Amino acid sequence: MKIALPTLQGRFLRRYKRFFADVELDDGTLITAHCPNTGSMLGCLEPGRRAVLRDSGDLERKLRYVLQALKVGSTWVNVDTGLPNAVVHGAAAAGEISELAGYSSARREVKYGENSRIDVLLEREDGARCYVEVKNTTLARGRVALFPDSVTERGLKHLGELSKVARLKNQRAVQFFFVSRVDVDSFEPAGDIDPAYARGLCEAADAGVEILAYRARVRPDSLILDRRIEVRLDRARWV
């Protein structure tokens, strides 16, 4: 997916009050941007790292610019949690994700379960459905991607909703980890950070929820799915 709005680059200074990030542009201008990531962003927030801001062009917004990506080592990492949903929706609708192919329609943000919304709902004319929950994943240790980067009660709730769907006839449920960096080869739940989520993911898999992880190639002006990576679930440790 190409980023349609203009982008600027600079040097990340700090994140504070969860939704604020200070970035010094290459011309020396200091900008306070909106940080669209509610997680801890563990491993990404070292001051001095290269940063990409997206210009909304909306002069009425309190924070006109959005923090989009940070460079960790030589790798760009997407930190905008809203972008992966659009990428997965577009790729699934175009039949570009083999595991999600064969559906005639793809919708976003559809209500289901108990006061929840599914990120992508795929449907066929015969009534078959595939519910896809997308989780942006930024944390990595070595060549392993991990989720979550902080305790997530909301994420655990989503696993419960998916498990209910997976038990229904002619319905699929998919937890899709969108790994927003290309320097990893496998995925694991971050059980040391949130053991309840790690247990929940293993239990969801046992209930029939399909667990997919794809890494993405991140550039300042684009975000593109690269390839599927291995998912490792240590049931003996977390269940």
- Across 23-32, 65-74, 108-117, 139-148, least confident range: 108-117
pLDDT at residue 108 is higher than 80: yes
Question: Whole-angstrom Cα distance, residue 165 to residue 200?
Answer: 15
- Cis-peptide, bond into residue 148, ω within 30° of zero: yes
Question: Whole-angstrom Cα distance, residue 109 to residue 95?
Answer: 19
Domain with CATH 2.40.50.580 in the chain: 7-78
Q: What is the DSSP string of 170-224?
A: TEEEEEEEEE--SS-SEEEE-TTT-HHHHHHHHHHHHTT-EEEEEEEEEETTEEE
Query: Which architecture characterizes domain 83-238 according to CATH?
Result: 3-Layer(aba) Sandwich (3.40)
pLDDT at residue 237 is higher than 80: no
Q: Quote the pLDDT of residue 239.
A: 65
Query: Using 50, 70 and 90 to split pLDDT, how confident is the model at 113?
Result: confident
pLDDT at residue 114 is higher than 90: no
Which three-class secondary structure state does DSSP give residue 159?
helix
Question: Whole-angstrom Cα distance, residue 110 to residue 115?
Answer: 11
Q: Quote the pLDDT of residue 56.
A: 95
Structure tokens given for 59? 């002069």
Question: Whole-angstrom Cα distance, residue 1 to residue 224?
Answer: 6
Q: Quote the pLDDT of residue 72.
A: 98
CATH topology of domain 7-78: OB fold (Dihydrolipoamide Acetyltransferase, E2P) (2.40.50)
pLDDT in tens, 76-89: 999 999 999 999 99
Cα-Cα-Cα-Cα torsion 208, 181, 84, 21, nearest 10 degrees, comes to: 130
pLDDT at residue 183 is higher than 90: yes
Q: Which residue in 237, 154, 232, 157 sits closest to 192, CA to CA?
A: 237
Domain with CATH 3.40.1350.60 in the chain: 83-238
Element holding 83 (H helix, E strand): helix 83-93
pLDDT in tens, 36-51: 999 999 999 999 999 9
The reported pTM is 0.96
pLDDT in tens, 192-229: 999 999 999 999 999 999 999 999 999 999 999 999 99
Q: Are strands 75-78 and 116-123 parallel, antiparallel or unpaired?
A: unpaired
pLDDT at residue 236 is higher than 90: no
